[in-house]
Amino acid sequence: MNTLFIGQKVIRLSEIDSTNNYAAQQVKENGVLDGLVIIADYQLAGKGQRSRSWESEKGKNLLCSIVLNPNFIDVSNQFILNKAIALAVLKAAEMICPGAFLRIKWPNDIYMEDKKLAGILIESTINGSQIGSLIVGIGMNVNQLKFEVGGRPAISISQELGNEIPVEAVLQIVCKSLEVEYLKLKAGKLNYIDEEYQQNLWKLNEWQRFEMNGKTEMLKILGVNKSGLLITESEEGRRAEWRNGELILASSL
Amino acid sequence: MDIREIQDLIKFVAKSGVSEVSLETDDFKLTVKTESNSKPKENIVYQVAAEPAPIVIPTVPAAPAPVSAAPAAPAPVAASNTVTIKSPMIGTFYRSSGPDKPLFVNVGDEVSPGKVICIIEAMKLFNEIECDVKGKIVKVLVDDATPVEYDQPLFLVEPA
Protein backbone atom coordinates (compact mmCIF):
# COMPACT_ATOMS: atom_id res chain seq x y z
CA MET A 1 0.00 0.00 0.00
CA ASN A 2 1.28 3.43 -0.96
CA THR A 3 1.28 4.85 2.58
CA LEU A 4 3.75 5.49 5.36
CA PHE A 5 2.07 3.51 8.12
CA ILE A 6 -1.70 3.16 7.74
CA GLY A 7 -2.37 -0.16 6.02
CA GLN A 8 1.20 -1.40 6.09
CA LYS A 9 -0.30 -4.33 7.90
CA VAL A 10 -3.73 -5.50 6.76
CA ILE A 11 -5.71 -8.41 8.19
CA ARG A 12 -8.29 -9.65 5.69
CA LEU A 13 -11.30 -11.58 6.89
CA SER A 14 -14.17 -13.11 5.03
CA GLU A 15 -16.67 -12.96 7.87
CA ILE A 16 -16.48 -11.48 11.34
CA ASP A 17 -18.88 -10.23 14.02
CA SER A 18 -17.47 -6.71 13.70
CA THR A 19 -14.10 -5.46 12.46
CA ASN A 20 -13.99 -3.03 15.42
CA ASN A 21 -14.33 -5.93 17.88
CA TYR A 22 -11.63 -7.86 16.06
CA ALA A 23 -9.35 -4.81 16.14
CA ALA A 24 -9.99 -4.36 19.88
CA GLN A 25 -9.00 -7.99 20.45
CA GLN A 26 -5.80 -7.42 18.46
CA VAL A 27 -4.97 -4.37 20.57
CA LYS A 28 -5.58 -6.34 23.74
CA GLU A 29 -3.32 -9.19 22.63
CA ASN A 30 -0.57 -7.40 20.72
CA GLY A 31 -0.69 -3.79 21.85
CA VAL A 32 -1.50 -0.74 19.74
CA LEU A 33 -0.02 -1.21 16.27
CA ASP A 34 -0.41 2.25 14.75
CA GLY A 35 -1.97 1.90 11.30
CA LEU A 36 -3.18 -1.71 11.53
CA VAL A 37 -6.13 -2.30 9.19
CA ILE A 38 -8.79 -4.99 9.54
CA ILE A 39 -11.01 -5.49 6.52
CA ALA A 40 -13.90 -7.92 6.12
CA ASP A 41 -16.22 -8.95 3.31
CA TYR A 42 -19.07 -9.31 5.72
CA GLN A 43 -19.91 -8.37 9.29
CA LEU A 44 -22.34 -10.55 11.21
CA ALA A 45 -22.89 -7.86 13.82
CA GLY A 46 -21.72 -4.66 12.16
CA LYS A 47 -21.83 -1.80 14.55
CA GLY A 48 -23.78 1.30 13.84
CA GLN A 49 -24.60 3.75 16.53
CA ARG A 50 -25.08 1.80 19.75
CA SER A 51 -27.34 -1.14 18.89
CA ARG A 52 -28.16 0.25 15.43
CA SER A 53 -26.80 -2.27 12.96
CA TRP A 54 -25.04 -1.60 9.69
CA GLU A 55 -26.54 -3.63 6.81
CA SER A 56 -24.25 -4.57 3.98
CA GLU A 57 -24.33 -7.11 1.13
CA LYS A 58 -21.41 -9.52 1.28
CA GLY A 59 -18.28 -8.33 -0.54
CA LYS A 60 -19.98 -5.23 -1.93
CA ASN A 61 -18.86 -2.56 0.47
CA LEU A 62 -15.88 -1.29 2.38
CA LEU A 63 -16.03 -2.53 5.96
CA CYS A 64 -12.84 -1.83 7.80
CA SER A 65 -11.29 -0.78 11.08
CA ILE A 66 -8.09 1.12 11.50
CA VAL A 67 -6.05 1.15 14.71
CA LEU A 68 -4.38 4.43 15.67
CA ASN A 69 -2.37 5.62 18.63
CA PRO A 70 -3.16 9.34 19.05
CA ASN A 71 -1.45 9.74 22.42
CA PHE A 72 -0.48 13.29 21.39
CA ILE A 73 -4.11 14.46 21.67
CA ASP A 74 -5.49 15.36 25.10
CA VAL A 75 -8.76 13.68 26.04
CA SER A 76 -10.37 17.10 26.52
CA ASN A 77 -9.73 17.79 22.85
CA GLN A 78 -10.65 14.40 21.47
CA PHE A 79 -13.43 15.60 19.18
CA ILE A 80 -10.69 16.89 16.86
CA LEU A 81 -10.01 13.22 16.06
CA ASN A 82 -13.60 12.83 14.95
CA LYS A 83 -13.23 15.90 12.75
CA ALA A 84 -9.98 14.73 11.14
CA ILE A 85 -11.34 11.24 10.46
CA ALA A 86 -14.61 12.51 9.00
CA LEU A 87 -12.65 14.89 6.77
CA ALA A 88 -10.38 12.06 5.62
CA VAL A 89 -13.32 9.86 4.60
CA LEU A 90 -15.02 12.83 2.93
CA LYS A 91 -11.91 13.64 0.91
CA ALA A 92 -11.47 10.00 -0.10
CA ALA A 93 -15.06 9.99 -1.38
CA GLU A 94 -14.41 13.24 -3.26
CA MET A 95 -11.37 11.67 -4.91
CA ILE A 96 -13.39 8.65 -6.02
CA CYS A 97 -16.50 10.62 -7.07
CA PRO A 98 -15.19 13.91 -8.39
CA GLY A 99 -17.85 16.57 -8.72
CA ALA A 100 -20.35 14.84 -6.42
CA PHE A 101 -21.95 16.97 -3.70
CA LEU A 102 -20.44 15.51 -0.54
CA ARG A 103 -20.73 16.78 3.02
CA ILE A 104 -20.19 15.71 6.63
CA LYS A 105 -23.44 15.22 8.49
CA TRP A 106 -22.70 16.00 12.12
CA PRO A 107 -21.13 14.35 13.90
CA ASN A 108 -19.47 12.14 11.29
CA ASP A 109 -21.67 10.58 8.60
CA ILE A 110 -20.71 11.21 5.01
CA TYR A 111 -23.61 12.26 2.83
CA MET A 112 -23.94 12.55 -0.92
CA GLU A 113 -26.74 15.04 -1.54
CA ASP A 114 -29.36 13.82 0.95
CA LYS A 115 -28.23 10.21 1.10
CA LYS A 116 -25.80 8.43 3.37
CA LEU A 117 -22.66 7.17 1.66
CA ALA A 118 -20.49 6.28 4.63
CA GLY A 119 -20.61 5.94 8.38
CA ILE A 120 -17.88 6.12 10.98
CA LEU A 121 -17.80 4.63 14.44
CA ILE A 122 -14.84 5.36 16.65
CA GLU A 123 -13.95 3.53 19.84
CA SER A 124 -11.22 4.56 22.21
CA THR A 125 -9.74 3.47 25.50
CA ILE A 126 -9.04 6.17 28.05
CA ASN A 127 -6.87 6.03 31.11
CA GLY A 128 -6.77 9.25 33.09
CA SER A 129 -6.35 12.02 30.53
CA GLN A 130 -4.55 9.76 28.08
CA ILE A 131 -6.03 8.18 24.97
CA GLY A 132 -4.71 4.63 24.95
CA SER A 133 -5.85 3.47 21.54
CA LEU A 134 -8.29 4.48 18.87
CA ILE A 135 -10.22 2.11 16.64
CA VAL A 136 -11.77 3.79 13.64
CA GLY A 137 -14.56 1.77 12.04
CA ILE A 138 -15.48 2.89 8.55
CA GLY A 139 -18.35 1.58 6.47
CA MET A 140 -18.71 2.91 2.95
CA ASN A 141 -21.28 1.83 0.37
CA VAL A 142 -19.24 0.88 -2.69
CA ASN A 143 -20.98 -1.56 -5.04
CA GLN A 144 -24.29 -2.18 -3.31
CA LEU A 145 -27.21 -1.21 -5.57
CA LYS A 146 -30.24 -1.95 -3.43
CA PHE A 147 -30.86 -0.57 0.02
CA GLU A 148 -33.48 -1.52 2.54
CA VAL A 149 -36.81 0.08 1.75
CA GLY A 150 -38.01 2.23 4.63
CA GLY A 151 -34.52 2.60 6.01
CA ARG A 152 -32.64 5.85 5.95
CA PRO A 153 -31.86 6.95 2.38
CA ALA A 154 -28.50 5.57 1.25
CA ILE A 155 -26.35 5.68 -1.85
CA SER A 156 -23.24 3.85 -3.10
CA ILE A 157 -20.24 4.89 -5.14
CA SER A 158 -21.22 2.64 -8.05
CA GLN A 159 -24.69 4.21 -8.14
CA GLU A 160 -23.01 7.58 -8.53
CA LEU A 161 -20.33 6.47 -11.01
CA GLY A 162 -22.48 4.07 -13.03
CA ASN A 163 -19.94 1.27 -12.77
CA GLU A 164 -18.42 -1.03 -10.18
CA ILE A 165 -15.15 -0.19 -8.48
CA PRO A 166 -12.93 -2.64 -6.57
CA VAL A 167 -13.37 -2.36 -2.79
CA GLU A 168 -9.60 -2.77 -2.45
CA ALA A 169 -9.04 0.44 -4.46
CA VAL A 170 -11.41 2.33 -2.15
CA LEU A 171 -9.56 0.97 0.88
CA GLN A 172 -6.25 2.27 -0.47
CA ILE A 173 -7.64 5.75 -1.07
CA VAL A 174 -9.28 5.86 2.38
CA CYS A 175 -6.04 4.78 4.09
CA LYS A 176 -3.99 7.34 2.19
CA SER A 177 -6.48 10.11 2.94
CA LEU A 178 -6.69 9.18 6.63
CA GLU A 179 -2.92 9.20 6.87
CA VAL A 180 -2.75 12.74 5.44
CA GLU A 181 -5.30 14.12 7.94
CA TYR A 182 -3.77 12.18 10.84
CA LEU A 183 -0.31 13.56 10.07
CA LYS A 184 -1.80 17.07 9.98
CA LEU A 185 -3.12 16.43 13.51
CA LYS A 186 0.27 15.16 14.58
CA ALA A 187 1.86 18.31 13.15
CA GLY A 188 -0.50 20.36 15.34
CA LYS A 189 -2.57 21.84 12.51
CA LEU A 190 -5.75 21.65 14.57
CA ASN A 191 -7.17 24.99 13.45
CA TYR A 192 -6.84 23.93 9.85
CA ILE A 193 -8.83 20.75 10.49
CA ASP A 194 -11.41 22.66 12.55
CA GLU A 195 -12.00 25.09 9.74
CA GLU A 196 -12.21 22.50 6.97
CA TYR A 197 -14.64 20.39 9.00
CA GLN A 198 -16.82 23.44 9.56
CA GLN A 199 -16.77 24.38 5.87
CA ASN A 200 -17.89 20.90 4.86
CA LEU A 201 -20.77 20.56 7.33
CA TRP A 202 -24.00 19.32 5.79
CA LYS A 203 -26.77 21.98 5.87
CA LEU A 204 -24.46 24.61 7.33
CA ASN A 205 -26.22 28.00 7.54
CA GLU A 206 -29.43 26.62 6.04
CA TRP A 207 -32.79 26.85 7.76
CA GLN A 208 -34.09 23.38 8.56
CA ARG A 209 -36.97 22.05 10.59
CA PHE A 210 -35.63 20.02 13.50
CA GLU A 211 -37.42 17.93 16.06
CA MET A 212 -36.40 17.99 19.69
CA ASN A 213 -38.24 16.84 22.83
CA GLY A 214 -41.39 16.17 20.83
CA LYS A 215 -41.66 19.66 19.28
CA THR A 216 -40.31 21.05 16.05
CA GLU A 217 -38.47 24.27 15.37
CA MET A 218 -36.73 26.01 12.48
CA LEU A 219 -33.00 26.16 13.19
CA LYS A 220 -29.86 27.05 11.36
CA ILE A 221 -26.63 25.11 11.95
CA LEU A 222 -23.81 27.53 12.82
CA GLY A 223 -21.07 25.02 13.55
CA VAL A 224 -19.67 22.53 16.03
CA ASN A 225 -17.82 23.43 19.22
CA LYS A 226 -14.68 21.94 20.73
CA SER A 227 -16.63 19.26 22.61
CA GLY A 228 -18.43 18.27 19.42
CA LEU A 229 -21.75 19.87 20.36
CA LEU A 230 -23.78 21.22 17.44
CA ILE A 231 -24.40 24.97 17.63
CA THR A 232 -27.67 26.25 16.18
CA GLU A 233 -29.51 29.53 15.95
CA SER A 234 -33.29 29.93 16.11
CA GLU A 235 -35.36 32.38 14.10
CA GLU A 236 -35.43 34.66 17.16
CA GLY A 237 -31.64 34.62 17.20
CA ARG A 238 -31.38 32.26 20.17
CA ARG A 239 -28.26 30.11 20.21
CA ALA A 240 -28.28 26.55 21.50
CA GLU A 241 -25.87 23.63 21.79
CA TRP A 242 -26.93 20.06 21.19
CA ARG A 243 -25.60 16.64 21.98
CA ASN A 244 -25.75 13.80 19.52
CA GLY A 245 -29.28 12.35 19.45
CA GLU A 246 -31.01 15.37 20.98
CA LEU A 247 -31.82 16.88 17.64
CA ILE A 248 -33.40 15.19 14.62
CA LEU A 249 -33.83 16.73 11.22
CA ALA A 250 -37.61 16.59 10.75
CA SER A 251 -37.42 15.65 7.05
CA SER A 252 -35.38 12.56 7.89
CA LEU A 253 -37.97 11.18 10.32
CA MET B 1 -10.46 49.48 61.04
CA ASP B 2 -13.26 46.92 60.83
CA ILE B 3 -15.40 45.72 57.93
CA ARG B 4 -18.21 48.14 58.88
CA GLU B 5 -15.93 51.12 58.58
CA ILE B 6 -14.58 49.87 55.24
CA GLN B 7 -18.14 49.52 53.95
CA ASP B 8 -18.96 53.04 55.06
CA LEU B 9 -15.84 54.33 53.37
CA ILE B 10 -16.80 52.56 50.10
CA LYS B 11 -20.27 54.13 50.24
CA PHE B 12 -18.79 57.50 50.95
CA VAL B 13 -16.37 57.30 48.03
CA ALA B 14 -19.11 56.05 45.68
CA LYS B 15 -21.40 58.96 46.55
CA SER B 16 -18.77 61.64 46.71
CA GLY B 17 -17.81 61.53 43.06
CA VAL B 18 -14.08 61.46 43.76
CA SER B 19 -12.11 58.85 41.88
CA GLU B 20 -9.70 57.76 44.58
CA VAL B 21 -9.26 57.90 48.35
CA SER B 22 -6.15 56.66 50.11
CA LEU B 23 -5.74 56.08 53.81
CA GLU B 24 -2.54 55.08 55.48
CA THR B 25 -1.80 54.17 59.09
CA ASP B 26 1.00 52.31 60.79
CA ASP B 27 -0.82 49.02 60.29
CA PHE B 28 -2.27 49.26 56.83
CA LYS B 29 -2.73 51.18 53.63
CA LEU B 30 -6.20 51.31 52.08
CA THR B 31 -7.05 52.70 48.65
CA VAL B 32 -10.61 52.95 47.30
CA LYS B 33 -10.81 53.67 43.57
CA THR B 34 -13.73 54.30 41.22
CA GLU B 35 -12.80 53.52 37.61
CA SER B 36 -14.83 56.09 35.67
CA ASN B 37 -18.40 57.35 35.29
CA SER B 38 -19.10 55.05 32.36
CA LYS B 39 -17.91 52.05 34.33
CA PRO B 40 -19.44 52.40 37.78
CA LYS B 41 -17.19 49.87 39.48
CA GLU B 42 -14.67 50.19 42.25
CA ASN B 43 -11.63 48.27 43.19
CA ILE B 44 -10.52 48.37 46.75
CA VAL B 45 -6.98 47.45 47.44
CA TYR B 46 -6.53 46.65 51.08
CA GLN B 47 -2.94 46.22 52.05
CA VAL B 48 -1.77 45.15 55.47
CA ALA B 49 1.82 46.12 56.07
CA ALA B 50 2.81 42.75 57.45
CA GLU B 51 1.17 40.87 54.56
CA PRO B 52 2.15 42.31 51.23
CA ALA B 53 -0.40 40.36 49.16
CA PRO B 54 -3.18 42.76 48.08
CA ILE B 55 -6.81 41.74 48.55
CA VAL B 56 -8.99 43.12 45.79
CA ILE B 57 -12.70 43.39 46.53
CA PRO B 58 -14.79 44.55 43.59
CA THR B 59 -18.02 46.24 44.66
CA VAL B 60 -20.92 48.14 43.18
CA PRO B 61 -21.24 51.73 44.41
CA ALA B 62 -24.01 52.66 46.85
CA ALA B 63 -25.05 49.05 47.32
CA PRO B 64 -24.10 47.54 50.66
CA ALA B 65 -20.98 45.46 50.35
CA PRO B 66 -21.66 41.76 50.60
CA VAL B 67 -20.67 40.56 54.03
CA SER B 68 -20.57 36.87 53.20
CA ALA B 69 -20.41 35.00 49.93
CA ALA B 70 -23.38 32.86 48.88
CA PRO B 71 -22.97 29.29 50.09
CA ALA B 72 -21.49 27.02 47.44
CA ALA B 73 -23.87 24.57 45.78
CA PRO B 74 -23.82 21.28 47.65
CA ALA B 75 -21.49 18.90 45.81
CA PRO B 76 -21.26 15.22 46.48
CA VAL B 77 -18.49 14.99 49.00
CA ALA B 78 -16.44 11.85 48.88
CA ALA B 79 -15.54 10.33 52.19
CA SER B 80 -11.89 10.86 52.91
CA ASN B 81 -11.05 7.20 52.35
CA THR B 82 -12.50 7.02 48.82
CA VAL B 83 -11.32 8.16 45.41
CA THR B 84 -13.79 9.79 43.03
CA ILE B 85 -13.57 8.80 39.37
CA LYS B 86 -14.81 11.66 37.22
CA SER B 87 -15.95 11.93 33.64
CA PRO B 88 -13.15 13.11 31.36
CA MET B 89 -15.65 14.55 28.87
CA ILE B 90 -19.19 15.62 28.02
CA GLY B 91 -21.17 12.62 26.85
CA THR B 92 -23.52 9.80 27.72
CA PHE B 93 -22.63 7.34 30.47
CA TYR B 94 -23.06 3.63 29.81
CA ARG B 95 -22.47 0.84 32.30
CA SER B 96 -22.24 -1.92 29.69
CA SER B 97 -21.03 -2.34 26.11
CA GLY B 98 -24.57 -2.89 24.84
CA PRO B 99 -28.18 -2.98 26.03
CA ASP B 100 -28.10 -6.76 26.60
CA LYS B 101 -24.49 -6.98 27.82
CA PRO B 102 -23.34 -7.45 31.44
CA LEU B 103 -22.38 -4.40 33.51
CA PHE B 104 -18.68 -3.54 33.49
CA VAL B 105 -18.67 -3.16 37.26
CA ASN B 106 -21.01 -3.49 40.22
CA VAL B 107 -20.82 -2.09 43.73
CA GLY B 108 -18.44 -4.29 45.71
CA ASP B 109 -16.34 -5.29 42.67
CA GLU B 110 -12.57 -5.18 42.94
CA VAL B 111 -10.99 -2.98 40.27
CA SER B 112 -7.44 -2.32 39.21
CA PRO B 113 -5.75 -0.01 36.70
CA GLY B 114 -6.67 -0.94 33.13
CA LYS B 115 -10.06 -2.41 34.05
CA VAL B 116 -12.84 -0.90 31.93
CA ILE B 117 -15.49 0.54 34.24
CA CYS B 118 -17.82 2.37 31.83
CA ILE B 119 -18.28 3.79 28.36
CA ILE B 120 -18.80 7.47 27.71
CA GLU B 121 -20.19 8.18 24.29
CA ALA B 122 -19.34 11.63 23.03
CA MET B 123 -20.81 12.48 19.64
CA LYS B 124 -20.47 8.93 18.27
CA LEU B 125 -17.03 8.46 19.74
CA PHE B 126 -17.27 5.60 22.22
CA ASN B 127 -14.73 5.87 25.01
CA GLU B 128 -13.99 2.92 27.22
CA ILE B 129 -12.94 4.47 30.51
CA GLU B 130 -10.31 2.49 32.34
CA CYS B 131 -9.91 2.60 36.08
CA ASP B 132 -6.67 4.24 37.20
CA VAL B 133 -6.74 3.09 40.81
CA LYS B 134 -6.74 -0.26 42.57
CA GLY B 135 -9.58 -0.77 44.99
CA LYS B 136 -13.25 -1.57 45.42
CA ILE B 137 -16.27 0.15 43.87
CA VAL B 138 -18.35 1.56 46.74
CA LYS B 139 -20.83 3.64 44.79
CA VAL B 140 -22.03 4.23 41.23
CA LEU B 141 -23.12 7.87 41.10
CA VAL B 142 -24.76 8.04 37.67
CA ASP B 143 -27.59 6.00 36.11
CA ASP B 144 -26.99 4.02 32.94
CA ALA B 145 -27.55 5.85 29.64
CA THR B 146 -27.74 9.33 31.14
CA PRO B 147 -25.91 12.48 30.04
CA VAL B 148 -22.82 13.50 31.99
CA GLU B 149 -20.82 16.70 32.11
CA TYR B 150 -17.08 17.19 32.11
CA ASP B 151 -15.62 16.33 35.54
CA GLN B 152 -18.90 14.92 36.85
CA PRO B 153 -18.25 12.27 39.55
CA LEU B 154 -19.09 8.78 38.26
CA PHE B 155 -17.80 6.27 40.80
CA LEU B 156 -16.50 6.17 44.33
CA VAL B 157 -13.65 3.73 44.79
CA GLU B 158 -12.17 2.64 48.10
CA PRO B 159 -8.46 2.29 47.37
CA ALA B 160 -6.81 -0.98 48.28
Structure confidence by residue, pLDDT tens digits, A184-198? 999 999 999 999 999
Cβ–Cβ gap B122/A78 under 8 Å: yes
**C-alpha to C-alpha distance for A53 and A237, rounded to whole angstroms:** 37
d(CA B149, CA B146): 10
- To the nearest 10 degrees (0 to 180), the angle between helices A167-186 and A190-199 is 130
Q: Is residue B41 part of a domain?
A: no
Task: Work out how many domains chain B is built from and give that number.
Answer: 2
Residues A22 and A120 placed together within one structural domain of the fold: yes
- Domain range spanning residue B27? 3-33
Residue A3 lies in a domain: no
* pLDDT given for residue A45 in this prediction: 77
Query: Of all residues in chain A, what percent carry a pLDDT higher than 70?
Result: 95
CB contact under 8 A, A107 and B124: yes
Confidence check: pLDDT of A13 > 60:
yes
Percent of chain A with pLDDT over 90: 79
Q: Are B29 and B92 within one domain? A: no
CB contact under 8 A, B125 and A128: no
Predicted confidence (pLDDT) at residue B69 exceeds the cutoff of 70: no
- Residue A2 located in a structural domain: no
In a domain, B44, yes or no: no
* A72, pLDDT greater than 50: yes
Please name the residue ranges forming H helices in A31-151: 79-96
Q: Do A87 and A191 sit in the same domain of this protein?
A: yes
Q: Is the pLDDT of residue B2 over 70?
A: no
Tell me: do B92 and B153 sit in the same domain: yes
Residues of A with CB under 8 A from a CB of B: 49-51, 75-76, 78-79, 81-82, 106-108, 120-129, 132, 227-229, 243-245
pLDDT score of B67:
47
Which chain A residues have a beta carbon less than 8 Å from that of B98?
Answer: 50-51
- The pLDDT assigned to A128 comes to 84
- In the prediction, which pLDDT does B58 show? 43
**Residue that finishes a domain, picked among A158, A178, A199:** A199
Residue span of the structural domain in which A172 resides: 10-199
d(CA A20, CA A37): 10
Q: Which residue has the higher pLDDT, B38 or A189?
A: A189
* Inter-chain CB proximity B126 and A132 less than 8 Å: no
Distances B3 to A27, A94, B30, B91 between C-alpha atoms, Å: 63, 69, 12, 46
Average pLDDT over residues A98-106: 97
Same domain? For A157 and A221 the reply is no
Q: Residue B128 falls within a domain, yes or no? A: yes
**Among A50, A124, A228, whose Cβ lies nearest the Cβ of B123?**
A228
**What local confidence, expressed as pLDDT, does residue B44 receive?**
44
Q: Which residues of A touch B87 (CB under 8 A)?
A: none
Q: Which residues contact A80 (CB under 8 A, 6 or more apart)?
A: A73, A185, A190, A193, A194
Question: Are residues B125 and A132, on separate chains, in Cβ contact within 8 Å?
Answer: no
- Residues 33-62 (B) with a CB less than 8 A from some CB of A: none
What is the Cα–Cα distance from A99 to B85, expressed in whole angstroms? 49
A212 and A195 part of one domain: no
Rounded to an integer, what distance in angstroms lies between the CA atom of residue A152 and that of residue A39?
A: 24
Residue B89 maps to a domain? yes
My answer on whether A169 and A59 are in the same domain is yes
- Of B41 and A71, the structure prediction assigns the larger pLDDT to A71
- The residue among A199, A224, A241 that closes a domain is A199
**Residue in A with minimal Cα distance to B94:** A50
Q: Taking residues B42-49, what's their average pLDDT?
A: 43
B77 within domain boundaries: no
| CATH number of the domain within which B155 lies | 2.40.50.100
Instruction: Tell me whether residue A4 is in a domain.
Output: no
Residue A75 domain-assigned (yes or no): yes
Q: CA-to-CA distance for A54 and A66, rounded, in angstroms?
A: 17
Q: How far is CA B8 from CA A69, A78, A176, B28, in A?
A: 62, 52, 71, 17
> Does residue A27 share a domain with residue A49?
yes
pLDDT tens digits, residue range A203-221? 999 999 999 888 999 999 9
Structural domains of chain A, count: 2
Can you tell me the distance from the alpha carbon of B93 to that of B90, in angstroms, rounded to the nearest whole number? 9
- A237, A176: one domain: no
Over range A139-160, report the average pLDDT: 90
Q: Are B92 and B25 within one domain?
A: no
> Do residue A227 and residue B127 have CB atoms under 8 angstroms apart?
no
Phi and psi dihedrals of A69, rounded to 5? -130, 70
Q: Are residues A232 and A134 in the same domain?
A: no
CA distance A225 to chain B (A): 11
Same domain, A40 and A100: yes
A39, part of any domain: yes
Residue-level pLDDT at B55: 44
Q: In this predicted model, what pLDDT tens digit does every residue of B89-108 receive, in sequence order?
A: 999 999 999 888 999 999 99
The answer to whether position B122 is within a domain reads yes
Tell me the shortest Cα–Cα distance from A48 to chain B, in angstroms: 9
Model confidence at B66, pLDDT cuts 50, 70, 90, reads very low
pLDDT digits (tens, 9 = 90+) for A37-63: 999 998 887 766 545 555 678 899 999
Query: Which of A90-94, B9-13, B81-85 is most confident?
Result: A90-94
Residues A80 and A22 in one domain: yes
Q: Is the distance from CB of A241 to CB of A234 less than 8 angstroms?
A: no
3-state SS, residue A135: strand
**Domain end marker among A160, A175, A199:** A199
Predicted confidence at residue B57, as pLDDT, reads 43
In CATH, what number is assigned to the domain containing residue A187?
3.30.930.10
How many contacts (CB atoms, under 8 Å) link A and B? 83
Q: Is B152 part of any domain?
A: yes
Question: Is A157 found in the same domain as A213?
Answer: no
Q: What is the ipTM of this complex?
A: 0.89
A101 with A238: CB under 8 angstroms? no
- A42 belongs to a structural domain: yes
